[in-house]
Structure 1
Amino acid sequence: MHELTRTEAIDLVGRGEAEQELPEKMRADVRMLGALLGRVLRESGSPGLYDDVERLRLATIAAYTDESPEAFERAAAIADSFSIERADEVARAFTVYFHLVNLAEEHQRVRVLRERDGRPEKEDAADSVAAAFVRLAAEVGDDTALQRLQALRFHPVFTAHPTEARRRAVSTSIRRLVTLLGEYDASLRGGADERRAQRRMLEEIDTLWRTAPLRAEKPTPVDEVRAIMAVFDETLYTAVPHVYRRVDDALQGPAAGGRAPIVRPFVRLGTWVGGDRDGNPFVTASITKKAAGIASEHILLGLENSANRITKTLTLSAETTPPAAELDALLQRLSSADEDGAADAAKRAKVEPHKRVMLLITRRITATRRRDADLAYRDPAHLLADLRIVQDSLVAAGAPRQAYGHLQQLIWQVETFGFHLAELEVRQHSAVHAKVLAECVAARDEGAALSTQAEEVLDVFRTIAQIQHRYGPGAAGRYIVSFTQSAHDLATVHELARFAAGPGGTPPVLDVIPLFETFADLQAAPEIMAEIIQHPEFAKRLDATGRRLEVMLGYSDSSKDVGPVAANLALYEAQALIAAWAQDEGIQLTLFHGRGGALGRGGGPANSAILAQPPHSVDGRFKLTEQGEVIFARYGDPNIAMRHIDQVAAAVLLASAPSIEQHNREAADRYADVAATMDRASRERFFSLVKADGFAPWFATVTPMEEIGMLALGSRPARRGLSVESLEDLRAIPWVFAWSQARINLAGWFGLGTALDAVGDVELLRRAYDEWPLFRTVIDNVGMSLAKADQRIARRYLDLGDRADLADLAADEMALTRRWVVEIAGGDDLLANKPVLQRAVKMRSPYVDALSLLQLRALRTLRTGEVSEAELPGWQRLLLLSVSGVSAGLQNTG
């Protein structure tokens, strides 16, 4: 066995992190993983690679700590000295390092959660659903709190927006390393298990090093569907019911499991993967149908396996646990429909009636998956009815623990996931609808032929109808209209659905959802909603759903439209106005938040954002998009997924507490003048940059925006046209992604410094930070964004363009914003009030700097145009490698 030497123990990670106050166990994990990587670089890298990695690593650490121009220039000179082949290897080495640090951090989070759960008298976290219920009950009474708990709804919607820079092969390798790190953690130090785990980790890190880090081609929409299925299979199928169980255990105490749970399933999953065709020509009606089929296959297989496991444990004899009359009747019905199954069940469970029934139920689930029409369940409601008969019979026979144990978990899974797993939502742009409707009218009135695009749009409605018929009405039906600017944009969807159904045909059941994205559209939203609910189809649907209505708000394009500060304020105001209108109309409103992972797209901690929302804009219901790297960060590990769901659901429940609603209302009123000043000043500053002549091509020059489009991230194109002549040509994700790569993160904060300067009163702003939740959320998120930025590196990117005026404008605003954020939040540096986060950022930053210097070199070379045709692929590859590495280091892209 190779013994790790003291020298290897500090390889790659030791010197920089030793000075940071990291948890000891995590520090040990990082040291060990870094040492293994150092060994891999020596064994599998080209000669001298390890030494070159060390030279650059130590130089960037030195430049980060002393901040002198000379130290920075020394680090840059080392990055510039490498051959293109060596730079490629160095970039890959630092990227693998970040993958290892990320998994060590994730492992530490899991370790902390397990240690907390393992304490004999563990306190329920202050931000858990159980704690939120107790606090809410103290304000509104137990009965009202219970009603709100049982009406609670958290609805994450997974999207395929291209922000996950890692290949799936890389992600899979990292998941294997996570498992091995857990085995290493559990082994005895110095023993055979430790040596075996370490040897296997060394093998896996070597595999990770040898795996091509960049996708050879873009994933197809079906590839994206299957990637999301991995999260469901490995995490969500079991994690979601475990959250319900934990909440019920906490609230019922010793009685939990021995009587009916008081918690009702409060998670519903949605997905745009395979359904979102706004700007993605590769998502067709055929793809949508395949996506629904893949999801149904996964959930039915999961339910089948769960039912089979429960069946094996229900070895309760009729003598000790006599069946109720309803169970006998169910057995007769199932046996008549499935004579072969009944004969087999009679042999396998001669004196175990509950097991016999479950055997037949399991066969019907299998038949549903295999599309055996004679035995298949028509819909999830029929399966639930059968399972509840089994449950009630067990309770009547005095076996409540069997009734409310694993069987209850299966019931929760059916209630949560149905036969469709996640509701498949369709999204399309309002302009496409208008164009196709005009074609349909012309075809009807003038006999004109429909274009291929029009036929495809109509096929989508037919596909929705087919999905509803096959998997149930909950499988599809939400139809989002991008860039909704009028009530007519929404009514058009129903007209198209009628055209698709044809004369005498029945359109699918649709919930048409407006997506308000720009500043002007957000302001017009209440008026548009007031008009559309008078429309016959909307009025009919409101009556059918108990006056439920959904409205989606876009964070990305509103921020790109008027800047992040004005967008945040406009979104708050729009929510307040829409919520007030809904209350007046007796409408049960759900606001759907189109948030991204990055701060420029509404990212940041979801629970604190929820608690900062306007009164009645949450009311126990919260829906948001989850995408790219955020999906795997929040839902990739079962323990982290359960914690995340618990935290967000707790905030959703607590947001309607009278004290919180009153606090948010009073704070918004108290600081209305501050908000107005910030809105005006920030917009003027933002427009002075983005509306300057030549801004769009300058932006494309000083960031790797064009090159990001070459990354095979997702199936969706990165921009709407062939070139970027204005911001309107560019999608919000690459807008944010490009600025983060340039280490300036401009999309998340630009204009805030000027806005705060316009207010000018430090004490007033500090009071606002303490008293106004929305303001505090903005300042904290910008603090995190600026902490991940780097002024010196950002300046080098800005100077790539021949516009000193724009470069100075961006750099000056960055410095001004940084000064004000530190002044308001307190301390002597960014994130001083969040030391754990500050340490995590400082641990990573020197290593991100190394990749940024390599990226800058590649970008500078490409921008000069003095590259031979033979050399061009190498420089482009280095740039893309560095983009992938910086994404891993910063842990967010778009």
Structure 2
Amino acid sequence: MLGSQLSLGLGLVSASDALLALAAHSPDHSPHRSGEPYRRAISGIYARLAATYRALLGAAPARHAVAEAEPYADAAALAEDLDVLHRSLVANGSGALARGRLRHLRRAVKVFGFHLAPIDLRQNSDVHERTVAELLEVARPGTAYAAHDEAGRCALLLEELATARPLASPHVRYSDETEGELAIFRAARRAHLRYGTGAIRNCIISKTDDVSDLLELAVLLKEAGLLRPLEHALDVNLVPLFETIGDLENAAGVMERLFALPIYRVLLASHAHTQEVMLGYSDSNKDGGFLSSGWALYKAEGELVEVFARHGVRLRLFHGRGGSVGRGGGPSYQAILAQPEGAVQGQIRLTEQGEVIGAKYGNPEVGRRNLEVLVAATLETSLRPAEVAPTPPAFLEAMQALSDAAFAAYRGLVYETDGFERYFWESTVISEIAALNIGSRPASRKKSTAIEDLRAIPWVFSWSQCRVMLPGWYGFGSAVRSFLAAHPKDGLALLQRMHRDWSFFATLLSNIDMVLAKTDLAIASRYAALVKDAALREAIFGRIRTEHQATVEALLAITGQRELLDGNPLLKRSIRNRFPYLDPLNHVQVELLRRHRDSDGNEGGAIDGRIRNGIHISINGIAAGLRNSG
């Protein structure tokens, strides 16, 4: 197709020396194209692409090349040949042709290379720890890696990183877990050699809580040849993921100690002194509630900015946001603008998950619009004037007090109330979500019903389905009530000023406003009725009702609104129009849940199957109606 567009002859246009050289090296020697250097060059490019296709996939492409040619070593070599075409066209009066299919092809090569979509590797730090411990114990019996403190672990790991000698032996049979981890990294190395380093760029360490977690991954990468100490080469980014409230509070200290290691700074130089850090919204919310999670993330970002600036390292933050407000969701534009000063340095990375992907990118025009919004917010935040006044200390102190009170209220209900775990499993669809296998991973990390072991996605999703939306607002009402009790004279005025002058606080309240508008305690009471213990039901749902009322009152008092979403009339109208169709689904779902649980599978396969299918359909319908619920 490109060759048919670029049929320019030398009798009409000129061509650069580089383009003529590219045409001269082409295996296309047809006399019919002797005066068409662009076509000949494109034939040569395609011949090399066809050879690359055969080399990578072991099969012939659908369209045969004019002759055999040498395959491309990497996608960068292909991009350079296309750049030769582009520069020649622009320099010789044919710039309009360079803006057609050629521009799209050059962009596709830049984005997709030979690998199509890049992937990240991600594993829990505990798995890396067990794998490294086994490798060390086999290679150096008596090491007892797990028994060492942090300093001892780092010393052992740094000793291994200083040498190219591998730990793993092909003559030793390791545990299935260790063999599996090594196989993954070796497969990543093969992917790099075959498709280029763009195929796998990042290795993310879940539950990072100290420097040894990053060094353990570095040792495993060395085993696969993805880290080569003698060459000072690191082929992937080591990305710590700080998830819980405690981990977020320690994030800056961990990176400070990491940057103090000379060997790591040498490796970082191969990545243009840029370090990516991932922040977990979901688990921090489940750990401490919406308000405390948001504040912990904000503080962690500010502290990381200071540490990175001090060490001369460029920070790239990776925000692990979900679709729901309880997992960091909400309007992306406002979320980016609410980042601390210096946290967005011309680049930002974030996740889009669940039904949000279809809603934002299912339509090309809508997808383009969402990408434009992200780019605009990133540019606007990065180009803030340097002389912008810092956040007033009074705002920071007030936010810390609110966070502490909200944390206590949230933990008091979720983790310190007897029977709460039972209430949650009986009053929500969590059991059906786990049984229906509609998620990408099991609902719990372990075979238990403990809240601590439950994954954040089903936790938030279950509260959304029953219209409580608890992870998106619980604790705020108690926090404001406590703050106003401690500051009876000027407390409310200070909170109102924070809402007016501080984008971070305004975004928090905007998200709470949206979540509260989607909460319906009347419907939620029907789900609560599924709890068999009446005393437990009344005790916990009564607390939820009281906190909900306090949160609505606090929000309206601070924002000055008469009703929820007065400040966002478009969303208010959208919700008002959707809920007459959504609410009946909740009532149907409650009845299906009651029948399913009462039958305990005894109604017969066909009937019970229809009930389970109905529950599944209702879950999808409610999620679609609520939109950002997962």
Specify the TM-score bucket, using the shorter chain as the normaliser: 0.7 to 0.9
- Cα pair 1:754 1:817 within 8 Å, conserved: yes
Distance in 2 (alpha carbons) for counterparts of 1:535 and 1:422: 33
Amino acid at match of 2:125: S
Which protein, 1 or 2, shows the higher relative CO under an 8 Å CA cutoff with sep ≥ 6? Answer: 1
SS at match of 1:850: helix
Amino acid at match of 2:119: L
How far the C-alpha of 1:485 sits from its partner, in A, is: 0.9
The reply to whether residue 634 of structure 1 matches residue 370 of structure 2 is no
Give the Cα–Cα distance (whole angstroms) in 2 for the partners of residues 796 and 829 of structure 1: 25
Q: CA deviation at 1:810?
A: 1.1
Which shifted more, 518-527 or 502-511? 502-511
Residues 376-391 of structure 1 correspond to what in structure 2 (within 5 A)? 376-391=71-86
Partner SS for 1:655: helix
SS of the residue aligned with 2:204? strand
Distance 1:712 1:421, change over 3 A: same
Code of the residue aligned with 2:495 in structure 1: it is L
Q: What amino acid does structure 2 have at the position aligned with 1:358? A: I
List runs of 5+ in structure 1 lacking aligned partners. 1-308
Q: Within the alignment, does 1:329 sit opposite 2:65 as a pair?
A: no
Give distance in 1, aligned partners of 2:596 and 2:387. 53
TM-score, normalised on structure 2?
0.87
CA distance in 2, matches of 1:705, 1:880: 12
Aligned pair in 2 of structure 1 residues 661, 781: CA closer, same or farther (>3 Å)?
farther
CA shift for structure 1 position 873: 3.2
**Shift of residue 537 of structure 1?**
4.8
Give the equivalent residue in structure 2 for 1:744: 468
Letter in 1 for 2:292: A
Match of 1:656 in 2: 382
- Aligned equivalent of 2:568: 834
Aligned match of 2:221: 497
2:47 is equivalent to residue 363 of structure 1: yes
Structure 1 counterpart of 2:11, which letter? E
In 1, Cα distance between equivalents of 2:51 and 2:20: 22
- Aligned residue for 1:662, secondary structure, equals coil
Matched, 1:879 2:574: no
2:271: which partner in 1? 545
Cα distance change of structure 1 residues 535 and 758 upon mapping to structure 2, 3 Å threshold:
same
For the 8 Å contact 1:826–1:833, the answer to whether it is kept is no
1:685 equivalent among 375, 398, 409: 409
Conserved in 2, the CA contact under 8 Å of 1:423 and 1:474? yes
- How much has 1:312 moved relative to structure 2? 1.6
Cα distance, 1:869 vs. partner? 4.2
Q: Residue 531 and residue 508 in structure 1: after superposition, are their counterparts in 2 closer, same or farther (change >3 A)?
A: closer
2:121 aligned counterpart, secondary structure: strand
Partner of 2:498: 768
The question of 1:457 aligning with 2:181 is answered yes
C-alpha spacing 1:508/1:367, structure 2 compared with 1 (3 Å): farther
- Select between 835-844 and 693-702 the one with higher mean Cα deviation: 693-702
The answer to whether the 8 A contact 1:766-1:824 is kept is yes
Change (3 A) 1:310 1:534: same
Aligned partner of 2:3: which letter?
Answer: T
* Contact 2:120–2:203 (Cα < 8 Å) also in 1: yes
SS in 2 for 1:658: coil
Give the distance between the partners of 1:386 and 1:817, measured in 2 at CA: 61
* Pairwise CA distance, 1:567: 0.5
| Residue of structure 1 in register with 2:519 after alignment | 789
Distance 1:316 1:887, change over 3 A: same
Note the alpha carbon deviations across 1:434-453, whole angstroms, 9 max, x for none: 11111112222359731111
What is the rounded CA distance, in whole Å, between the counterparts of 1:796 and 1:874 in structure 2? Answer: 22
**Equivalent in 319, 322, 331 of residue 11 of structure 2:** 319
Could you tell me which residue of structure 2 aligns to residue 813 of structure 1? 547
Q: Which residue is equivalent to 2:319? A: 593
- Aligned-pair distance for 1:791? 1.6
State the one-letter code of the partner of 1:705: I
The reply on whether 1:891 has 2:627 as its aligned counterpart is yes
Seq. identity, %: 37
1:67-108 superposed Cα distances (whole Å, 9 cap, x missing partner): xxxxxxxxxxxxxxxxxxxxxxxxxxxxxxxxxxxxxxxxxx
The one-letter amino acid paired with 2:48 is R
1:533 corresponds in structure 2 to 259
Question: Out of 700, 711, 717, which is 2:436 matched to?
Answer: 711
Provide the secondary structure at the position in 1 that maps to 2:402: helix
* One-letter identity of the residue aligned with 2:561: G
Q: Which moved more, 1:732-741 or 1:435-444?
A: 435-444
Whether the aligned pair in 2 keeps the contact of 1:721 and 1:729 (CA below 8 Å) is yes
Task: Report the CA distance shift for 1:867/1:319 in structure 2 as closer, same or farther (over 3 A).
Answer: closer
Alpha-carbon distance between aligned partners in 2 of 1:500 and 1:445, rounded to the nearest angstrom = 19
Q: Is the 8 A contact 1:702 1:798 kept in 2?
A: yes
Q: Say whether 1:756 aligns with 2:480.
A: yes
1:350 Cα deviation (Å)? 4.2
The SS at the match of 1:626 is: coil
CA distance in 2, matches of 1:367, 1:448: 39
1:243-302 CA deviation, whole Å, 9 max, x = no partner? xxxxxxxxxxxxxxxxxxxxxxxxxxxxxxxxxxxxxxxxxxxxxxxxxxxxxxxxxxxx
For the 8 Å contact 1:718–1:731, the answer to whether it is kept is yes
Query: Unaligned stretches of 5+ in structure 2?
Result: 59-68, 142-170, 485-490
Structure 1 distance, partners of 2:228, 2:501, is 59
C-alpha displacement at 1:661, in angstroms?
7.8
CA contact (8 A) 1:519 1:562 kept: yes
Instruction: Please state how far the C-alpha of 1:613 moved relative to its aligned partner.
Output: 0.5
**SS state of the match for residue 512, structure 1?**
strand
Question: What one-letter code is carried by the residue in structure 2 that aligns with 1:796?
Answer: R
Deviations 1:614-655 (A, max 9, x none): 111111110011122112222221111111111111111111
Partner of residue 620 from structure 1, selected from 330, 334, 346: 346
Structure 2 distance, partners of 1:694, 1:530, is 42
Q: 1:565 to 1:503 in 2, by over 3 A?
A: closer
Equivalent residue for 1:354, pick from 38, 56, 72:
38
Q: Report how far residue 777 of structure 1 moved.
A: 0.7
CA shift, 1:820, in A, is: 2.2
Q: Which amino acid aligns with 1:873?
A: G
- 1:478 to 1:568, Cα distance in 2 relative to 1, 3 A: same
Answering whether residue 108 of structure 2 is matched by residue 413 of structure 1, we say yes
Equivalent position amino acid for 1:717 in 2: P
Change (3 A) 1:637 1:363: farther
- Residue deviations 1:641-680, cap 9 Å, x none? 11111111111111123348825x325x341122022111
What is the CA-CA distance between 1:686 and the residue it aligns to? 0.3
Structure 1 pair 887/759, CA: closer, same or farther in 2 (3 Å)? same
Tell whether the 8 Å contact from 2:226 to 2:235 is kept in structure 1 after alignment.
no
Q: Give secondary structure in 2 for the equivalent of 1:615.
A: coil
Q: Which amino acid aligns with 2:121?
A: V
Matching residue within 395, 405, 417 for 2:90: 395
**Residue of structure 2 aligned with 1:858, choices 570, 575, 592:** 592
How large is the RMSD of aligned CA atoms in angstroms? 2.3
Contact 1:321/1:394 (CA < 8 Å) preserved in 2? Answer: no
Contact 2:329 2:628 in 1 (8 A): no
- Displacement, 1:505? 11
TM-score normalised by L of structure 1 = 0.62
Taking a change above 3 Å as real, the CA distance of residues 416 and 661 of structure 1, as seen in their structure-2 partners, is farther
Q: 1:403 to 1:875 in 2, by over 3 A?
A: closer
Q: How does 1:74-113 map to 2 (within 5 A)?
A: none
Q: Give the conservation status (yes or no) of the 8 Å contact 1:784–1:831.
A: yes
Distance change >3 Å, CA 796–CA 362, structure 1 → 2: same
- Residue in structure 1 matching 2:201, options 477, 493, 502: 477
Relative to 1, partners in 2 of residues 1:430 and 1:674: Cα closer, same or farther, differing over 3 Å? Answer: same
CA contact (8 A) 1:367 1:376 kept: yes
